[in-house]
């Protein structure tokens, strides 16, 4: 295999793929980067035991030749060393791989590396003929930011460490919970499949960081133990979490004893300030009190630092008074940050019942947060 490629483009894409390659692994082949060159361009593949990323580089980009194919073929290079070497070369790069011997040249510089036999590299599922769901990448990225923070951080219940994706004919429902809180986002989509699966939060973090336009369409499919995300010249394979995700539909209340409409930015800022005084508590205690139809009080205190008391205006209230509940301030702030709206609705159903938080006027995003026992 041999080809010549633009340095800047190649270095950037190699870095994007190599970041998921481990420095050490029980499968040494995974410390390598797989490179394939052919009539359609150059393909880079890297991954670990849970996640693989593929980047495809066509021969031409916007009418400009970026890859000159000399000889088709494939090979494996040591991922981390190769990526660092490519960064330090001055201009166009010539890559040659023959029988695990790698030559990398640029201008008057020539380097030689030892590679790996590529026949041991994991074989990824074929993408042909799979049913898919299709939606804008920006919408999926937003849904991930609105849910993934609520996954469990402990492995005691592995299925809760990922986001549950439920695919229906015209929408994708993303749900995350750690048993104390729940976050959900619903996205309209075009689908030829009906399925559900659990994606590890680490894979979704890598997915959100892909360098593709937010308007680009991303296709999601499932093949065996993998979920596959295809967007432009990038493919991400994520291993699926095994197990039965809890049924969360019955947890979501539709009626409330009390509901309030609040200014979203003002509330976020107030809870952020309250968290400064809540750190000594195991659960960052922040108290909300509604004693009148137009005013809500936020309080938090620290025996060492002091205390905060802040009153905010209620834009609209329905239901019973008074309401007095204490929440984990960090959880409450993350929930509020997961909602993109100028106004926020909070629904209460009693002292120890979870509160539901959602944007005003729409129900496609919601957060469910259990109060603290104090």
**pLDDT for the residue numbered 116:** 85
**pLDDT for the residue numbered 197:** 96
Q: Which residue positions in the chain have pLDDT lower than 50?
A: none
**pLDDT for the residue numbered 156:** 86
**pLDDT for the residue numbered 99:** 85
**pLDDT for the residue numbered 36:** 96
Other CB atoms within 10 Å distance of the CB of residue 226:
18
pTM of the full structure: 0.92
- Quote the tokens at residue 226: 């993998």
Separation between Cα atoms, residue 185 and residue 146, nearest integer Å: 7
The CA–CA distances, whole Å, from 48 to 81, 84, 153, 238, 345 equal: 17, 19, 21, 10, 42
**pLDDT for the residue numbered 128:** 80
**Per-residue pLDDT tens over the stretch 220-277:** 999 889 999 999 999 999 999 999 999 998 889 989 999 999 999 999 999 999 999 8
Sheet holding 132-136, edge to edge: 73-78, 32-38, 41-47, 51-57, 234-239, 226-231, 217-223, 132-136, 190-191
Contact 59, 67 (CB under 8 A): yes
**Per-residue pLDDT tens over the stretch 312-321:** 999 999 999 9
CB neighbour list of residue 38: distance below 8 Å, 6 or more residues apart:
69, 72
């Amino acid at each position: 295999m041999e080809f010549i490629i633009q340095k800047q483009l190649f270095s950037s894409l190699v870095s994007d793929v190599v970041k998921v390659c481990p420095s050490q692994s029980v499968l040494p082949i995974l410390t390598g980067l797989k490179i394939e060159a052919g009539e359609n361009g150059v393909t880079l593949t890297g991954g670990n035991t849970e996640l693989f990323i593929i980047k495809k580089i066509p021969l031409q980009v916007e009418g400009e030749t970026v890859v000159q194919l000399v000889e088709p073929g494939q090979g494996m290079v040591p991922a981390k060393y190769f990526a660092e070497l490519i960064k330090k070369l001055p201009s166009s790069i010539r890559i040659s791989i023959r029988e695990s011997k790698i030559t990398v040249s640029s201008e008057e510089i020539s380097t030689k590396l030892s590679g790996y036999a590529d026949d041991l590299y994991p074989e990824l599922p074929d993408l042909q003929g799979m049913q898919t769901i299709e939606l804008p990448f920006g919408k999926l990225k937003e849904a991930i930011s609105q849910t993934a923070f609520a996954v469990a951080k402990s492995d005691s219940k592995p299925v809760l460490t990922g986001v549950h994706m439920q695919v229906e004919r015209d929408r994708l429902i993303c749900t995350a919970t750690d048993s104390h809180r729940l976050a959900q986002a619903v996205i309209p989509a075009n689908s030829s499949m009906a399925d559900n699966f659990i994606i590890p939060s680490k894979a979704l973090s890598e997915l959100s960081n892909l360098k593709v336009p937010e308007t680009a369409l991303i296709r999601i499919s499932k093949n065996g133990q993998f979920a596959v995300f295809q967007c432009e010249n990038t493919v991400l394979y994520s291993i699926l979490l095994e197990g039965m995700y809890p049924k969360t539909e019955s947890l979501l209340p539709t009626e409330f004893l009390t509901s309030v409409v609040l200014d979203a930015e003002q509330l976020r800022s107030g809870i952020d300030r309250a968290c400064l005084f809540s750190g000594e508590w195991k659960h960052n205690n922040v108290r909300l009190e509604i004693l009148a139809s137009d005013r809500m009080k936020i309080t938090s205190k620290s025996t060492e630092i002091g205390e905060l008391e802040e009153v905010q205006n209620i834009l609209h209230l329905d239901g019973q008074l008074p309401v007095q509940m204490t929440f984990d301030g960090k959880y409450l702030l993350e929930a509020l940050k997961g909602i993109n709206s100028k106004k926020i609705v909070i629904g209460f159903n009693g002292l120890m019942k979870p509160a539901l938080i959602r944007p005003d006027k729409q129900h496609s995003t919601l957060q469910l947060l259990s109060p603290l026992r104090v």
